[in-house]
Amino acid sequence: MKWVVDNSGRFGWRPYYDCTELDRECEQIVSDFLKNKYRTILFPLSTDDLSVMIERDTSELDLFADLSFDGDDVEGATDFFPHKKPAVKIARELSLDSSRYLRLRTTLAHEYGHVKFHNFLWGMTSPPKPAADMIKKLSSERRAVSRMRKKINPEYGRQPDDGGLSPVLTRAAAQSTFKCPRGLILQAPAEDWMEWQASYAGGALLMPLSSVTNMVRTNIPDWNGIDRIPANSPSVREIVNQMGQTFDISPDAAQVRLTKLRIIQPTT
């Protein structure tokens, strides 16, 4: 993980995880949990086990929350706090309607992604060292630009300059609850980095990388691990079906995971 400027405005700086790091950490989390509980790693990760994992790392898991006031499409939410574990809420419709069982699983995994990879932000009181180093460098460059501008215009700098950088990683106090509509559960735009990371982590928790790639190599022995496979090929359809049975997920979730792993070509 490294620190980058947060262009969303939520924080001064934000964590950046590459896909390899998210895959590795998510697989380790799931493997450790299964080995500790069952002494073996077997899939699918059950919904009960997924709930236990969330309860372990939160102050509350509400599987029957009324999220109707947050919008018709909001199916999950995570509340963050500075001095206690986060709280996760799942729309009650997902728990009460058996036809939404697979959506319940992906929503739980998505919210757990928020818990594992974002909760620490609300406990920070000072900027991380990489951010401080970067600020120092940017401040030096900024002073050089200011000197140049002042030579050109002596009046420059007499008025407050609102374009400065804060030296502190500020918590997003104005938004400590993250409401997740259905459209962001499986995949979110990269610009919305918190939702993108939670979406990727959710897929990686339910469908760990090593299991997915082993499944692909079994069905396509000559796959070189680099070239993308056409999404509409018979072999991909077979892999998607196997993923559904193995991981207890929907075909859409399988397709999104294979696309994010750059195993299949994105559908247009």
Is the pTM higher than 0.75? The answer reads: yes
d(CA 213, CA 242): 12
d(CA 45, CA 50): 7
Which pLDDT tens digits describe the chain residue by residue (268 residues)? 999 988 887 888 899 999 999 999 999 999 999 999 999 999 999 999 999 999 999 999 999 999 998 877 999 999 999 889 999 999 999 999 999 999 999 999 999 999 999 999 987 755 555 445 555 544 454 455 445 434 444 543 443 333 333 333 333 444 588 889 998 999 899 889 999 999 999 999 999 999 999 999 999 999 888 889 999 899 999 999 999 999 999 999 999 999 999 999 987 6
Question: Can you give the residue ranges of every domain in the chain?
Answer: 2-125+168-206, 208-268
d(CA 239, CA 132): 46
What length does the chain have? 268
